[in-house]
Amino acid sequence: MAMLHAENISVRRGGRLTLAPCSLSIEAGERLAVYGPNGAGKSTLLQAAADLLPIATGSIVFRGMALGTELAQLDYHRRTAAVFQEPLLLRGTVRHNVELGLKLRGVGAEERGRRATRWMERLRITHLADRPASLLSGGEAQRTSLARALVLEPEMLFLDEPFSALDAPTRRRLLSELAEILDERRIATLFVTHDLDEAAELCDRCLVLDAGHSLQQDDMTTVIERPLSRRVAEIVGAANVFDGVVAPGNGSKVAIEWSGHRIQSSLAGRAGAKVTFMLREERLRLGTPSADNINQLRGRVQQVRRRGAKSLVAVRVGNPHSVLVWCESGEQPDLNQEVAILFSPEAVWIFPQQPP
């Protein structure tokens, strides 16, 4: 039985549909990322699933109990917890804020104090216990907000971009601490983010949302490597997306004619059909052309961009097409150098959902 199952939930605001009917399911201990660009409706989906926003259609079932009929809203709120982008701390000290949810649940002062102390220690804010919440830095306030949610030992946690307002080092540190806590406690989590690395670090599965519509819901690897459509590929940051035509292939491998090249894929397709396909950047490499390589695209290096320890190389393989390839910074080619992009048929992904 799923911990949380939302079926066709939609949200209307001011007569406008801000979230089209969307379904999601989260098992006990599982973590689902809701990923998409700004304005996709990610926070709306989270708030609707957390019953913090009225839904126009659909139903929410928590541990097999339908919300509103078999499970009262207040009970649902008291078995779950939410953390938002803004820490939204109330007037009072850090300890007061951490204990607040327990106080609302009628937990006695002694147990409240014990649990709050434990979670303040865990989130390394014990030294701030008596400090007014209004005097905290962004990172401290978000740690307090996380402690306030985790102290409740919720069965389900809703995280709405909790790290997006923090600087990069604080964000990385908090993310890894939170991942550790969630691994240890096995708390089912719905995590809204517009950072794919955060989603991949924290979550098992991903729901891709765009303009209020759910586009794909799969495990993280599938979403990144086998997006259902061109739009999903764009949202997850795939760069090498092109249009080609299926040519008759060899056995199980289908060839795609594209920009004067013939690309072998491992996927099936109807000869003559127009297809949109993707070359997975992480499976491409620069090398020497040889007869052993099934796929090789020759071209000239157009641009080299440094990205941390690696470089992203743009290779012009035909007018007007360029293919992006990652390479180690020490092995980057020179501008205008003639190179070959080598890849296996498995590096080619033809989108199951093709444009009409």
Partner 1 sequence: MASATWDYWSEIGKGFIDAVLLLVTFDPETWSIIRQSVLISTSGTLAALVVGVPMGAWIALSSFRGRGLLLTTFNTGFGLPPVVVGLLMSILLLRHGPLGWLNLRFTPAAMMIAQFILSVPIVINLTAVAIQQLNPKLWMQMRGLGASQYQMLWLIGREIRLPLIGAYMAGFGAVISEVGASQMVGGNLPGSTRVLTTAIVMETGMGHYDRAMAYGIVLLMLVAAVVGLLTWFQQQDAPP
Nearest distance, CB of residue 50 and partner 1, angstroms: 6
Closest separation in Å from C-beta 101 to partner 1: 4
The closest alpha carbon to 82, from 173, 8, 9, 187, belongs to 187
Helix 94-104 and helix 109-122, axial crossing angle in degrees, nearest 10? 130
Residue 41: CB minimum distance to partner 1, A: 16
Judged by beta carbon, residue 158 or residue 277, the one nearer partner 1 is 158
Strand order of the β-sheet with 16-26 is: 16-26, 4-13, 57-62, 65-66
Of 300, 286, 305, the closest CA to residue 337 belongs to: 300
Place of tokens 């035509």: 245
CA–CA separation, 264 vs 294, rounded Å?
7
Locate 3 and state its tokens: 């911990």
Applying CB under 8 A, the residues found at the interface with partner 1 are: 47, 50, 52-53, 74, 77-78, 80-82, 84, 86, 88, 90-91, 100-101, 104-105, 132, 134-135, 148, 152, 158
Q: Considering beta carbons, is residue 19 or 255 the nearer one to partner 1?
A: 19
- Minimum distance, C-beta of residue 332 to partner 1, in the bound complex (Å): 46
Closest separation between CB of residue 35 and partner 1, Å?
21
For strands 31-35 and 205-210, give the pairing: parallel
| SS3 (DSSP) at 33 | strand
Residue 151 pairs in a beta bridge with: none
Choose between 105 and 185: whose C-beta lies nearer to partner 1: 105
| Pick 136 or 203: Cβ nearer partner 1 | 136
Question: Which long-range CB contacts under 8 A does 98-106 form with residues at least 24 apart?
Answer: 98/144, 98/147, 98/148, 98/151, 99/151, 100/148, 101/148, 101/149, 101/151, 101/152, 102/151, 102/152, 104/78, 105/78, 105/152
The three-point CA angle 253-257-263 to 5° equals: 45
Considering the complex, state which of residue 131 and residue 300 has its C-beta at the smaller distance from partner 1.
131
User: Shortest Cβ distance from residue 156 to partner 1 (Å)?
Assistant: 11
Q: How far is the CB of 59 from partner 1 (least distance, A)?
A: 19
Q: Which CB sits closer to partner 1, 39 or 92? A: 92
CA distance 186 to 181: 8
- Residue 148's H or E segment, with its range, is helix 138-150
User: Which residue number, 78 or 316, has a Cβ lying nearer to partner 1?
Assistant: 78
The residue among 42 and 148 lying less far from partner 1, judged by its C-beta, is: 148
Alpha carbons 273 and 248: distance in angstroms, whole number: 10
What's the min distance (Å) between Cβ of 193 and partner 1? Answer: 18
